[in-house]
Amino acid sequence: MRAAMPKADTDPIATAEGHDIARFTWELGPEGGEAMVVGFDVAVLTPDGRVAKVYGFLDKVPAGV
């Protein structure tokens, strides 16, 4: 996404944690403008708190991207 939109800004908008899972909701769009892409990532953590896996999900994507 960064290559397609080099001047876009990414903002985390919410986080939730529990046990060995962390969820991050985020938006990507021009600074001060409407988000063009919205999604969330789910991170699976190791017992010592390091990131083992990350799964990304896109909720809103502009046509043609």
Is this model's pTM higher than 0.95 or not?
Answer: no
Range of the domain at 40: 8-60
In a domain, 48, yes or no: yes
pLDDT at position 35: 87
In a domain, 31, yes or no: yes
pLDDT at position 55: 95
51: exposed, middle or buried (Cβ count in 10 Å: 0-12, 13-18, 19+):
exposed
β-pair partners for 51: 45
In a domain, 65, yes or no: no
Q: pLDDT (tens digit, 0 to 9) for every residue of the chain, 65 residues total?
A: 556 555 566 655 555 556 788 888 888 888 888 888 999 999 888 888 888 999 999 999 988 76
28: CATH: 3.10.450.50
Number of domains in the chain: 1
